[in-house]
Structure 1
Amino acid sequence: MGTESKRQQRFAGVIQQDLAELFQRDGGSWAPNAFITVTRVRVTPDLAIARVYLSFLNTSTSKSDLGLIRSKASEIRYKLGTRIKNQARIVPHLEFFLDDTSEYVEHMDKLFDEISKEPRQED
Structure 2
Amino acid sequence: MQETKRQKQIGQLIQEELSNVFQRMGFNVVEGGMISIAAVKMTPDLLEAKVYLSMFQIKSPNEMLERIKDRMGEIKKALGLRVGKQLRRMPELAFFLDDTLDYVFKMEELFKKIKEDDSHIKGDNQ
User: Same fold by TM (over 0.5)?
Assistant: yes
**Structure 2 residue ranges without an equivalent (≥5):** none
- Say which one has the larger Rg: 2
- Count of paired positions: 120
Percent of paired sites with the same residue: 38
Distance 1:14 1:80, change over 3 A: same
Q: Which residue is equivalent to 1:48?
A: 47
TM-score with structure 1 length normalisation?
0.89
Are 2:63 and 1:64 equivalent residues in the alignment?
yes
Alignment of 1:11-26 (within 5 A): 11-26=10-25
TM-score with structure 2 length normalisation?
0.87
Equivalents in 2 of 1:27, 1:6: separation in Å? 31
**Structure 1 residue ranges without an equivalent (≥5):** none
The amino acid across from 2:121 in the alignment is: R
Equivalents in 1 of 2:7, 2:21: separation in Å? 21
**Per-residue deviation, 1:99:** 0.3
Runs of 4+ in 1 over 6 A off after TM superposition: none
Alignment of 1:69-84 (within 5 A): 69-84=68-83
Q: Which residue is equivalent to 1:8?
A: 7
**Per-residue deviation, 1:31:** 8.1
**Per-residue deviation, 1:76:** 0.8
The amino acid across from 1:10 in the alignment is: Q
Coordinate RMSD, CA, aligned: 1.7
**Per-residue deviation, 1:27:** 3.1
